[in-house]
Structure 1
């Protein structure tokens, strides 16, 4: 940390010079390079809002967020959100009911507003962690809402819809990328019949929150807001490529799953500055065109497979509502 503080200080000085007197920031090669090297905490909210398009949308829709909170609320949506409030960062004192102020109320407002704003999504388990993390970083309710809109509506569409087609697709795309770039690990996964959803679903659905160290997650999100979802593939591929020898020592399915948990811990991911440099080197070329083509093929395959599934049997009598049955999503 003492070494990283030197990096943070140097970056802070350079960012302050870059942003001096600016109320807006345009995307360019210099800004992209600066973001990859890390955004200082004091500028993070401003940069995320600017590069994601959230600031522009907020300015074009004054009062919209408050109007969502004043609207008539769906009781089912309200209950689903309340169920997950106490599960959101329970170890963080700011989210405890005894905190003053308690961020649970802010979290509830952001999730409720987003549920009305995007009725196709509503509320899905996992969104509470995304919203909670944004609130911690921005310390601003409305800005957290607009950043959430950028993430779920534009950067990661279909991740949190009921079918989660975007999430399923990207897990399969990662498998294809591993097949091309780390074939030995891909063969091991096939040999032991390990589905990618078993080992990487939490990486994607939690956007690495509570998977990687906090400072590393913030650096990943810096790039996620600027460069889009391909950053998630770069992070996942780097973790797998860098630890392929360790993964290949696994002898069965549980062993592989355990090793995928272990590779998200330790010195390699804690040294976030070096780790972020690695994600742009170790995976090699990763163009948007390549990812788009893989997504198209994987999505078509998933939809074809799901269309052939037999219809679900009718529910037994007196079954509790699905929300009551669903286990809490744990991002760890």
Structure 2
């Protein structure tokens, strides 16, 4: 059997496993077997349904028939609508869905973001929501994408998109303390040049790496994120810093704050292969082992450290 045939057979087997899980979802969720499946990657043909089930956004959709259309009919606040309108063309401008100004992709993106400002008027609109909603729209219709966005904002990353960014600042402090334990060399470098986590991790975390990593890596990270929660975002961030700042050779090229920030903002696509990233994030490649991350803080198990 040729390699291509083997890959096709493996892909078919994975699809069958996921279809079996969909048919017995309550059992699979109870036993958390899907964690392993998510780390292996969700088949692209089933990713939409899997994300909706993993996030429980399907339940929200079923519990709120007609709600999205109702939100669409509301006029919305002009201040939010103006900002949303200006942001539409910035989201994945080379993707066929969003390339055309006023095209279907941009229209659906506008519908979702506007609906959220009406659904949560106390929060309104945050610009980091736009790329997140765009990624969802690449995988599912607007109504399903809206409820998935609601779950990300309220269940996975609560407080991240609120004015003041208090939640992301708190998680920045937690992230930096984890870095001190998992990669002291990177920690000391950032500390030396007074590079606060908020300067680089805001886009990473709030956009769930959709603007940071190669696309194949983004999808694998999102698969794990929907299954295991925000700890995946922390782990990916730690892996990236370890890869960029975790050796003497790498730091030799970064003589100051400017060079370091340039490296953090423009991560080379060659830095991490998809399989290596997943291995590191899954805890089998020497990265941290975070068992739970939430608003109150972290519950951790001992982590291997780097000298």
TM-score range normalised by the length of the shorter chain: 0.7 to 0.9
* Separation in structure 2 between the aligned mates of residue 4 and residue 169 of structure 1, nearest angstrom: 47
In the TM superposition, residue 292 of structure 1 has moved relative to its aligned partner by 4.1
Q: Residues 102, 284 of structure 1: CA spacing in aligned structure 2 closer, same or farther, 3 A cutoff?
A: same
Residues 1:112 and 2:89 are matched in the alignment:
no
What is the TM-score with the length of structure 1 in the denominator? 0.80
Residues 1-332 of structure 1 correspond to what in structure 2 (within 5 A)? 10-20=10-20, 22-23=22-23, 25-26=25-26, 27=29, 28-97=31-100, 102-138=104-140, 140-243=141-244, 244-245=246-247, 246-249=249-252, 250-261=254-265, 264-269=267-272, 271-281=273-283, 282-288=286-292, 292-293=296-297
* Separation in structure 2 between the aligned mates of residue 5 and residue 202 of structure 1, nearest angstrom: 40
* Separation in structure 2 between the aligned mates of residue 4 and residue 286 of structure 1, nearest angstrom: 37
Asked if the contact 1:69/1:113 (under 8 Å) is kept, the reply is yes
* Separation in structure 2 between the aligned mates of residue 238 and residue 220 of structure 1, nearest angstrom: 12
In the TM superposition, residue 291 of structure 1 has moved relative to its aligned partner by 8.2
Asked if the contact 1:116/1:122 (under 8 Å) is kept, the reply is yes
* Equivalenced residues, count: 290
Asked if the contact 1:230/1:288 (under 8 Å) is kept, the reply is yes
Cα deviations across residues 127-181 of structure 1 (Å, max 9, x unaligned)? 111111110122x011100110011111001111111111112222111100111
Asked if the contact 1:37/1:273 (under 8 Å) is kept, the reply is no
Structure 2 residue matching 1:93: 3-state secondary structure: coil
Cα deviations across residues 160-206 of structure 1 (Å, max 9, x unaligned)? 11111111122221111001111121112122222122232221122
Cα deviations across residues 14-59 of structure 1 (Å, max 9, x unaligned)? 2323424945623233211001110011110111000111011111
Gaps in structure 2 of 5+ consecutive residues: 300-307
What is the TM-score with the length of structure 2 in the denominator? 0.86
Which position in structure 1 is the counterpart of 2:304? none
Q: Residues 196, 284 of structure 1: CA spacing in aligned structure 2 closer, same or farther, 3 A cutoff?
A: closer
Cα RMSD (Å)? 2.6
Asked if the contact 2:243/2:271 (under 8 Å) is kept, the reply is no
* Separation in structure 1 between the aligned mates of residue 200 and residue 5 of structure 2, nearest angstrom: 33
More displaced, 208-217 or 185-194? 185-194
Asked if the contact 1:185/1:247 (under 8 Å) is kept, the reply is no
Gaps in structure 1 of 5+ consecutive residues: 296-332
Asked if the contact 2:89/2:101 (under 8 Å) is kept, the reply is no
Asked if the contact 2:176/2:187 (under 8 Å) is kept, the reply is yes
Cα deviations across residues 275-318 of structure 1 (Å, max 9, x unaligned)? 211212222321216984359xxxxxxxxxxxxxxxxxxxxxxx
Q: Residues 6, 170 of structure 1: CA spacing in aligned structure 2 closer, same or farther, 3 A cutoff?
A: farther
In the TM superposition, residue 7 of structure 1 has moved relative to its aligned partner by 5.5
* Separation in structure 2 between the aligned mates of residue 284 and residue 127 of structure 1, nearest angstrom: 28
